[in-house]
């Protein structure tokens, strides 16, 4: 199972390199089911893995001039505050038993995995459904500040709880709320994901002992996978793979719900 987990870390990076996002949604299931980590620890490690891997992609996009820095800052500020507060204060404050339904006890661990599976289902739907018409590069960038604030806080809380990057929420928001062209939205989202994920992880460093050896190895494999995925992108159309990957994430989300409840 350890070998499967490390192979999976490479696959996460390859998927990110091929389709530009979505691969991070696999990180927590791999850490929990293949490597037997506690869900709270898994979400913390996922923040570092996702943040570092996204940062590599973001730097590549920055060099290519694809990142809109003003938009990244506007979106990142509420998101990073929310994700840090979630990891440093909200999660530690949650009781071990959240609530009970009939004879079913919903523990903190179970609640995190069920919430994560719901996020997986939403991410899967966003990857499966056809993309809306892309905004042209010539369209002027405008900002809906109140909605951006709400969206940033929401994405930050979700990222803080489940440890995933939330690109499936950020990219549509950049397109709809900032009128960013799709290619710029994808590139800019990686920088936002990197910033808020790594800031969120700082909230965990103060709360738990980190196995830096394991975390460095897992993250290094994921980063190597990104470069493999970028190379494979020359031969494989990542866009065509996105829907197929979405179906896989959908079935994994359903499997997690079934496994945790039944």
Structure tokens at 158: 């979700």
CA-CA distance, 249 to 258, in Å (whole number)? 14
CA angle 107, 92, 90 (to 5 degrees): 95
Given a cut of 80, whether residue 8 has pLDDT beyond it is yes
Q: Which residues contact 217 (CB under 8 A, 6 or more apart)?
A: 6
Given a cut of 80, whether residue 119 has pLDDT beyond it is yes
**Average pLDDT, integer, range 74-103:** 86
What would the DSSP string read from start to end of 188-243? HHHHHHHHHHHHHHHHHHTTS---HHHHHHHHHHHHHHHHHHHHHTTTS-HHHHHH
Q: Report pLDDT for 133.
A: 56
- Is the pLDDT higher at 206 or at 92? 92
Q: How confident is the model at residue 106 (pLDDT cuts 50, 70, 90)?
A: confident
**Average pLDDT, integer, range 51-74:** 87
Query: Backbone phi, then psi, for 139, in 5-degree steps?
Result: -65, 130
**Average pLDDT, integer, range 78-98:** 87
The pTM for the full model equals 0.81
**Average pLDDT, integer, range 88-92:** 85
CA-CA distance, 45 to 207, in Å (whole number)? 13
Given a cut of 60, whether residue 138 has pLDDT beyond it is no
pLDDT tens digits, one per residue of 182-200: 778 878 888 888 888 888 8
Given a cut of 90, whether residue 220 has pLDDT beyond it is yes
**In the chain, pLDDT over 90 holds for what percent of residues?**
6
> Which range among 27-31, 52-56, 103-107, 220-224 has the greatest average pLDDT?
220-224
Q: Report pLDDT for 125.
A: 85
Q: How confident is the model at residue 132 (pLDDT cuts 50, 70, 90)?
A: low
3-state secondary structure of 234: coil
Q: Report pLDDT for 219.
A: 93
pLDDT tens digits, one per residue of 13-49: 887 777 666 666 788 888 888 888 988 888 889 889 9
Structure tokens at 13: 């990076």
Q: How confident is the model at residue 221 (pLDDT cuts 50, 70, 90)?
A: very high
Given a cut of 90, whether residue 91 has pLDDT beyond it is no
> Which range among 51-55, 141-145, 182-186 has the greatest average pLDDT?
51-55
The overall average pLDDT reported for the chain is 82
Helix (H) or strand (E) holding 32: none
Q: Report pLDDT for 217.
A: 93
């Amino acid at each position: 199972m350890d070998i499967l987990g490390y192979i999976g870390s490479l696959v996460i990076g390859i998927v990110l390199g091929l389709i530009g996002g979505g691969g991070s949604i696999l990180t927590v299931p791999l850490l929990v089911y293949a490597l037997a980590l506690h869900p709270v620890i898994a979400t913390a490690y996922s923040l570092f893995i996702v943040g570092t891997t996204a940062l590599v992609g973001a730097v590549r996009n920055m060099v290519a001039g694809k990142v809109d820095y003003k938009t990244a800052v506007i979106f990142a500020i509420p998101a990073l505050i929310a994700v840090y507060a979630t990891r440093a204060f909200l999660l530690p404050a949650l009781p071990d038993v959240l609530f009970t339904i009939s004879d079913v006890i919903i523990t903190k661990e179970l609640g995190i995995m069920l919430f994560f599976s719901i996020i997986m289902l939403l991410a899967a739907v966003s990857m499966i459904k056809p993309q809306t018409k892309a905004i042209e590069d010539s369209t002027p960038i405008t900002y809906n500040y109140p909605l951006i604030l709400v969206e940033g806080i929401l994405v930050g809380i979700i990222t803080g709880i489940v440890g995933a990057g939330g690109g499936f929420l950020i990219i549509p928001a950049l397109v709809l709320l900032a009128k960013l062209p799709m290619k710029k939205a994808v590139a800019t989202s990686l920088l936002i994901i990197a910033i808020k994920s790594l800031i969120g992880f700082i909230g965990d460093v103060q709360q738990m002992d980190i196995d830096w050896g394991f975390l460095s190895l897992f993250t290094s494999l994921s980063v190597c996978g990104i470069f493999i995925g970028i190379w494979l992108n020359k031969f494989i159309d990542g866009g065509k793979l996105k829907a197929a990957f979405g179906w896989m994430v959908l079935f994994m989300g359903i499997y997690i719900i079934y496994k945790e409840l039944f």
